[in-house]
Amino acid sequence: MTSLTTFYLSGIVGKEVFGADGDAIGKIKDLLVNTMPSGTSDPNQQLVTGIRLKINKELRFYSFKSFMVTKAREVLNVTCTELIELGAEEISNGLLLVENILDKQIVDLNGRKLVRVNDVRLATLPAGTYTIAVDIGIEGLLRRIGISIPIKRVLSLFKINIPAKYILWDDVQAIDHSNLNIRLSKSYSKLHTLHPSDIADILEDMGKKSSMSIFASLDEEKAADVLEELEPNAQIHILENLPVNKAADVLEKMPADEVADILDELEDDKAEMLLKEMDTESSQEVRDLLEYDDDRVGSIMTTDFLSFSSTMTVAEVLVELRSKKPESAELYNMFVVEANEELIGMFNLRDLVVSEPFLLVSQIMKSETVYLFDEQKVGAIARIVSKYNLLAVPVVDQEYHLQGMVVIDDVIEDLIRKRRTNKR
């Protein structure tokens, strides 16, 4: 017997356990792993604490301390010196590998996607048996159906290897213990480092309950970014299941035009409830946008833009930008307005950076401004953007008061969404 025996869950489930006298005791149905929180690197988090046996058609839990797994010529043997029944508390603090991990999905942070667990690798040491990793590769699947060895032999003739794909057990944590069907690779904090669009893709692939659990764990800023990236049906699901106050807080962090698009898809009663819960300023911006028909420029403009007085200096504008820390889209074009918000000019970030600090905005702005009216049809946007090669176009009302701007990113996103909707 060696001091280290490695084996796979698929190789031990269904095996007979033999007692010290050599008689069969029962069949292995599952293994129980400790999940009690006790520190980030505590090996007891990986310890197999229990075993589920089928004895005379009855399923029972026993302590794994009196069980031994050995391997001889690649054949696993499981023996037991004494059957010690496991208490209810120990069972509730454990995680069943077959029931809750095998064939279930986890988030692979490196691949930024959901993957299926095909097997679990374990190791028996003098101190006990521990989970090492989950197998998410093809080999694990072939091993499960008993053809891994012959397939590998055939492929070796052509010098082809089946790559092993594992995620270490330390990187596998439960998303939600009330729904153990989905597991999470790495911790919540690591998941939060992904780009919002990657998190959105992962949430859309998950079950509804699990996606809600992860979304609810995000801070408001990250949640707003993720909600913006989700497909409309997923957005609706999230908002209908979040507490109204939490949903309103998230919506307040989003651009008003994005919120208007989402609320436009909700039932009127639900949308009104959320608008009333939002702060007055944010709510009013959204209400104003909802007044526009879907085929009008105003319906897809954003009210998040930067405007300055013509009498400000370049230095003063830069100070204000550092203070506001605007989103990148707001820097595509910046606008110059009179006291009554009438649009009189525009400039971009390059104009600002290459100009001397003492120059006035009136000296660097382009006074012959290209603009759109808020009540124009959206078809006008493509013509303007194409003709003048603009990333952002100001939107004015009939009195030429600045109302917002249309960003090319939003136009493209709107077209993509409409195409997806039409395909459905």
Predicted confidence (pLDDT) per residue in 135-153, tens digit: 888 887 777 777 766 777 7
Instruction: With a cut of 50, say whether residue 180 has pLDDT above it.
Output: no
Query: Which segment of 183-192, 239-248, 315-324, 405-414 scores lowest on mean pLDDT?
Result: 183-192
Can you give the pLDDT at residue 286?
A: 93
Q: Which residues are bridge partners to 67 per DSSP?
A: 80
Q: What is the mean pLDDT of residues 186-191?
A: 53
Q: Same CATH topology for 192-291 and 307-421?
A: no
Query: Fold for domain 5-171?
Result: SH3 type barrels. (2.30.30)
Can you give the pLDDT at residue 420?
A: 52
What residue has token string 């009216």? 373
Q: Select the more confidently predicted residue: 351 or 390.
A: 351
Are 205 and 231 spatial neighbours (Cβ–Cβ below 8 Å)? no
Q: Count of residues for the chain?
A: 424
Query: Which segment of 32-36, 56-60, 159-163, 358-362 scores lowest on mean pLDDT?
Result: 159-163
Share of the chain above pLDDT 70, in %: 86
Instruction: With a cut of 90, say whether residue 53 has pLDDT above it.
Output: yes
Range 307-421 has CATH code 3.10.580.10 = yes
Q: Which residues are bridge partners to 115 per DSSP?
A: 106
Gap between the Cα atoms of 112 and 213, Å rounded: 18
CATH of domain 192-291: 1.25.60.10
**Mean pLDDT (the chain, rounded):** 84
Instruction: With a cut of 90, say whether residue 189 has pLDDT above it.
Output: no
Structure-token pair, residue 25? 């005791």
Q: Could you tell me how far CA 356 lies from the centroid of its own chain?
A: 44
Question: In the chain, where are the structural domains located?
Answer: 5-171, 192-291, 307-421
> Could you give the angle at the alpha carbon of 339 between the alpha carbons of 350 and 253, nearest 5°?
65
Strands 24-34 and 16-19, bridge-based pairing = antiparallel
The interaxial angle of helices 256-263 and 232-241, nearest 10 deg, is: 90
Global pTM value: 0.62
Instruction: With a cut of 60, say whether residue 281 has pLDDT above it.
Output: yes
Gap between the Cα atoms of 367 and 292, Å rounded: 28
Contacts 24+ apart (CB under 8 A), 211-214: 211/237, 211/238, 212/237, 212/238, 212/241, 212/242, 213/175, 213/176, 213/179, 214/175, 214/184, 214/188
